[in-house]
Amino acid sequence: MTDSQDARCRIEGAAGLITLDRPKALNALTLDAVRAMRAALDAWEHDPAVTRIVIEGAGEKAFCAGGDIRRLVEAGKAGRREEAQTFWREEYELNALIARYPKPYVALIEGIVMGGGVGVALHGSHRVVGERALFAMPEVGIGFFPDVGASHALPRLPGKTGLYLALTGARLGPADQLAMGLATHAVGASAMPEIREGLIAGEDVDALLSRHRHDPGPAPIETIAATIDACFGESSVEEIVAALTRMAGEGDAPAETILAQIRGKSPTSQKIAFEQMHRGAGLSFEEAMRMEYRIVSRILDGEDFYEGVRAVLIDKDHAPRWKPDRLEDVTPAMIEAYFAPLGEHELAV
């Protein structure tokens, strides 16, 4: 009833089943997919036949690698600003709906989950990761910022891990996702089909997932947590970089690795992300989404988003020319402008 070409939404057994269905594009979200999901979730919320929501990605490579960024950049370049704004507004409204959804919302995550994919997975009640699940919020590397509710979720991770993820775009496997609370359950790859069928059959969600729990082993991020907490508690991005540089000079191997991760990203994006993480720690989910919409409403006015997408996704030379290209040239006033209220254009969530 709410199918689109990009997201198939139907009832199977006791489940409202959503399949993100653009496997050749790593199931990147389109506006059609967002609208189909929203219509389905609205309908299923009050349908007694639907006792749980299940969302999955088609194909083997990705749950969802994010929004259709190239399409948004094309719209911005062509002066179709409202087209891009409409996507982000409706995507953020969908994220907020998922966060407050009254029924179990189970994301079956295998392969890549990044950006917009995180937004339609992380805020539900159950996040089930398979052995190939790979999480990241890599937006600062394309001149964007960690959105889709990252302002609320990342600051609530253990220690300073959330800020580390926001500023570096570091990737996490299933063990790290489980340890950080990004996932609620880790399971073996062979268990996913049985879990899916059990959810459709109406089995108790928690009992089913507990029965298939899998130990993914030690979390690699825990071996660098001390370095992260020591450096990412500083009061500016410049001071974080200085702390990492100092520790790397003293022979701290994790600091050297993190420095390599943090270099080359958009200075403007990193300062936006730093500010949003600090503000988001004290905001409700709805307040965080309104803050993110303020930021995204200004992102098309700059140059880094277009340049980052060109360098990483279009030309793939991975040599972006950021403006400004130094952290010290990004002023507090420049960053504050991204967070200014939008008046009558605020996101209504």
Instruction: Based on the residue annotation, tell me whether 147 is a catalytic residue of this protein.
Output: yes
Which is the CATH superfamily of the domain at 7-133+173-211?
2-enoyl-CoA Hydratase; Chain A, domain 1 (3.90.226.10)
Closest by CA to 265, choosing from 326, 198, 186, is 326
pTM: 0.95
pLDDT digits (tens, 9 = 90+) for 171-198: 999 999 999 999 999 999 899 999 999 9
Strands 105-109 and 62-64: unpaired
Between 73 and 257, whose confidence is greater?
Answer: 257
pLDDT digits (tens, 9 = 90+) for 317-326: 999 999 999 9
Instruction: Based on the residue annotation, tell me whether 116 is a catalytic residue of this protein.
Output: yes
Domain with CATH 3.90.226.10 in the chain: 7-133+173-211
Is the peptide bond preceding residue 104 cis, with omega within 30 degrees of 0? no
* From 139, 176, 304, 307, the catalytic residue: 139
* From 16, 57, 115, 116, the catalytic residue: 116
Whether the pLDDT of residue 296 is over 90: the answer is yes
Residue 49 neighbours by CB under 8 Å, 6+ apart: 11, 14
> For position 124, what pLDDT does the model report?
97
Percent of the chain with pLDDT over 70: 99
Instruction: Based on the residue annotation, tell me whether 139 is a catalytic residue of this protein.
Output: yes
> For position 3, what pLDDT does the model report?
58
Closest by CA to 152, choosing from 273, 285, 296, 347, is 285
Q: Is the dihedral of CA 89, 92, 94, 96 positive or negative?
A: negative
Whether the pLDDT of residue 1 is over 70: the answer is no
Closest by CA to 116, choosing from 100, 135, 129, 133, is 135
Q: Read off the pLDDT of each residue in 95-111 and give the average, rounded to a whole number.
A: 98
CB atoms within 10 A of CB 299: 22
Whether the pLDDT of residue 246 is over 80: the answer is yes
Percent of the chain with pLDDT over 90: 93
Q: Which residue has the tokens 């950080």?
A: 180
Whether the pLDDT of residue 2 is over 60: the answer is no
> For position 138, what pLDDT does the model report?
96
Q: Read off the pLDDT of each residue in 53-64 and give the average, rounded to a whole number.
A: 96
Whether the pLDDT of residue 4 is over 80: the answer is no
* Cα separation, 224 vs 255, whole angstroms: 8
Q: Read off the pLDDT of each residue in 286-299 and give the average, rounded to a whole number.
A: 97
Structure tokens at 79: 């002066």
* From 147, 252, 304, 307, the catalytic residue: 147
Whether the pLDDT of residue 133 is over 90: the answer is yes
Confidence band, pLDDT 50/70/90 cuts, at residue 70: confident
Structure tokens at 91: 């995507």
Q: Read off the pLDDT of each residue in 76-97 and give the average, rounded to a whole number.
A: 94
Q: Read off the pLDDT of each residue in 222-248 and give the average, rounded to a whole number.
A: 98
pLDDT digits (tens, 9 = 90+) for 24-51: 999 999 999 999 999 999 999 999 999 9
* Cα separation, 215 vs 336, whole angstroms: 44
Q: Which residue has the tokens 């409409």?
A: 86
> For position 67, what pLDDT does the model report?
86
Whether the pLDDT of residue 83 is over 60: the answer is yes
Q: Which residue has the tokens 């409700």?
A: 284
> For position 327, what pLDDT does the model report?
97
Whether the pLDDT of residue 5 is over 90: the answer is no
pLDDT digits (tens, 9 = 90+) for 135-152: 999 999 999 999 999 999
* Cα separation, 165 vs 178, whole angstroms: 15
> For position 77, what pLDDT does the model report?
87
Average pLDDT of the chain to the nearest whole number: 96
